[in-house]
Structure 1
Amino acid sequence: MSIKPNRGPSAYIKAIANDNSLPIEQAALDLWQKDLQNPLRWSIRPLLQFIFAILLHLTWLFKRLPLPQFSAHTTLQRLICWFCTHFVSKEANLLILRHYATESNILNFLAANGGADSATPVQLYPKCIADMQHASFVQHDQELFRLFAELGRHQKPAMPLSNAGLNWQHWQPLDMAQFQLQEKRTQKLDFETSHALFMCLFCLLLTREEYRDAINGFNLDQSIAIRIGHLVGDNTLTEMAYNKYPHYLVGPWNLGQRFLMHGFFTEHLYAYLQQRYSTEKTDV
């Protein structure tokens, strides 16, 4: 039996590098491929996820006790930005900035085409880590809930809208050159390890209702896919949503995977809509 040296990506990683069955932009795929090959992801992440999952449930229990509720949004966001600046890898930071833009575009597409004239578009498009001091993760969640409240009850259109009939007035195609990041030698942590380190901090520095709403907001992915699927006449979009059934509230169990799959959902749906946007602009 011969031992082969470990050189480059595995056969599976090479296979998914060429799999575009689900729509995804090449820039996002390249970032994720590099993040997957971060050695810390396969060494310290499993241990940290195990430890912090236990700590998260203890923090969740503490916040559910009948005690006065407290939150510290500004402190939370400053700690996140500081940590991202010094310890989170460039690829993971770019994926975070992309997530703001992909979800904002998806929500703005719904605001423009969902039939509610009073729906206010989302303005969260940070271009660097410092921008997240203002375009905070808390605001990111609250803007989702606000828009859904403004859209109101969904009415399936009698006929799907044609490409020419879709309203793209708030759509902002992603340009990776607009993201401004200065890479430091200490920035080594992959996306999932970074999230594991932040889970407890979010739970502690938000009120119990804010945190419960935030971790259940992922389940609106299915509702978003259904609504957009009705608008464009494609019922397969719900297959992109891992997080489902928003009326069933969940706790912090399996949070890391649910968070990651929410990120994939927004990347897939954004790429799908961006293809339609590009086609519509080309036809014009």
Structure 2
Amino acid sequence: MLHTREYYEDMVNTPRNPSHWHALFLDKSVPFNPDAKAAFLYDSSTKSRQFLYPVAKVLARLSIILMQLFKIVVPNLINAPKTLHRCLYLGMKYFITPEANFLILRHFYLGSEVLRFIKDNVDGASSIPMNPLKPLAVKDVQENMFLEHDLNLYNFIINLNVAIAEQGLQIAVKPMPDFSAISMGAIPFSSFRNKWTNVIDLATAIELFTPAYQFYLTDNDFWRATNSLQLDEVIGIYAATIMNCPEKLTALNNKHPMIPLPTYGAAFRLLLHGFSTEVLHAMLVEAKVTAT
């Protein structure tokens, strides 16, 4: 069962024992899709998140440090993205919660829409190539989905700024933005497996997946992927400039990408990356609703 907004909307508050998650769900200070917010909060409230995550975090980060030492000697010994994504698919399908799978697939989907929104609202940028990732089932991640997502982000920023420099394009305020790239309804995902083994929460899964990501990729690929997690602020500035709402960047600040951070903290930054994408997309949905 995927826990969506009804789970928290139907919850009865007990004044002497209020729910932390209930309070956060009802709070609307940060834009967030209600179903995604409910899934995120429910997933964060599980026993896995409370008890397994602290242990997984320590072991995974130790593994990353040891693997980094190994990669100093043989940085390109292993380069198997297909094997990596097969492992990620099996882990997602059989071991992580439906809520976590829902949020992971949403991330790829929403990320593609946000990049397309920016392209659509930069005059003259129509020739910039795009590679939208819109998976509808867990099995779709086997198509190098995680790696392609990172490459899309870098290539979009590079291609856009080359066009700005060479063609004189400009990211500027759009009084009437084009919201055609931003979807508003529920994404038609296939049902998510929910057996007794599907108990690992999103944060714990990311901690465990990160060493696997490092092991199966070259040192350069892993380094590039971890640095991409700090580009949320760049994308946020582009969107906020178009929308003329710099104050909305509060929840999109993940420190400056020109200052690289240690790779052992990549899992937490990936969690923030997913959160930032949800907030930015929800902000655009709200603006689209207002504009119609």
Q: TM-score, normalised by structure 1?
A: 0.88
SS, match of residue 231 in structure 2: helix
Is the 8 Å Cα contact of residues 125 and 135 (structure 1) preserved in structure 2? no
SS, match of residue 230 in structure 2: helix
For the structure 1 residues 279 and 178, does the alpha-carbon distance in structure 2 shift closer, same or farther, using more than 3 Å as the test?
farther
Of residues 150, 158, 178 in structure 2, which corresponds to 1:149?
158
Q: How does 1:12-23 map to 2 (within 5 A)?
A: 12-23=20-31
Measure the CA separation in 1 of the matches of 2:48 and 2:171: 48
Measure the CA separation in 1 of the matches of 2:84 and 2:269: 21
219-228 or 181-190: bigger deviation: 181-190
Per-residue deviation, residues 13-45 of structure 1 (Å, max 9, x unmatched): 222121110100101111012102211111111
Matched, 1:136 2:149: no
Q: How does 1:120-131 map to 2 (within 5 A)?
A: 120-131=129-140
Offset of residue 185 of structure 1: 2.4
Q: TM-score, normalised by structure 2?
A: 0.86
Measure the CA separation in 1 of the matches of 2:142 and 2:249: 33
1:6 is matched with: none
Matched, 1:207 2:218: yes
1:92 is matched with: 100
**Aligned residue identity for 1:102:** L
Per-residue deviation, residues 99-118 of structure 1 (Å, max 9, x unmatched): 11111111111121234232
Measure the CA separation in 2 of the matches of 1:49 and 1:24: 26
SS, match of residue 15 in structure 1: helix
Offset of residue 65 of structure 1: 2.4
Equivalent pairs counted in the alignment come to 272
Offset of residue 67 of structure 1: 5.0
**Aligned residue identity for 1:136:** M
Per-residue deviation, residues 187-215 of structure 1 (Å, max 9, x unmatched): 11100111111111101111111111111
SS, match of residue 181 in structure 1: coil
Tell me how large the CA RMSD over aligned residues is. 2.2
Sequence identity (%)? 26
Q: How does 1:76-91 map to 2 (within 5 A)?
A: 76-91=84-99
Matched, 1:279 2:287: no
Is the 8 Å Cα contact of residues 242 and 262 (structure 1) preserved in structure 2? no
Name stretches of at least 5 consecutive residues in structure 2 with no aligned partner.
1-16
Per-residue deviation, residues 37-63 of structure 1 (Å, max 9, x unmatched): 211111111011111111111112212
Per-residue deviation, residues 155-177 of structure 1 (Å, max 9, x unmatched): 6556x2123xx223433345244
Q: How does 1:14-163 map to 2 (within 5 A)?
A: 14-115=22-123, 116-134=125-143, 136-152=145-161, 157=171, 160-163=173-176
Is the 8 Å Cα contact of residues 226 and 263 (structure 2) preserved in structure 1? yes
SS, match of residue 279 in structure 2: helix
271-280 or 258-267: bigger deviation: 271-280
Offset of residue 253 of structure 1: 3.4
SS, match of residue 152 in structure 1: helix
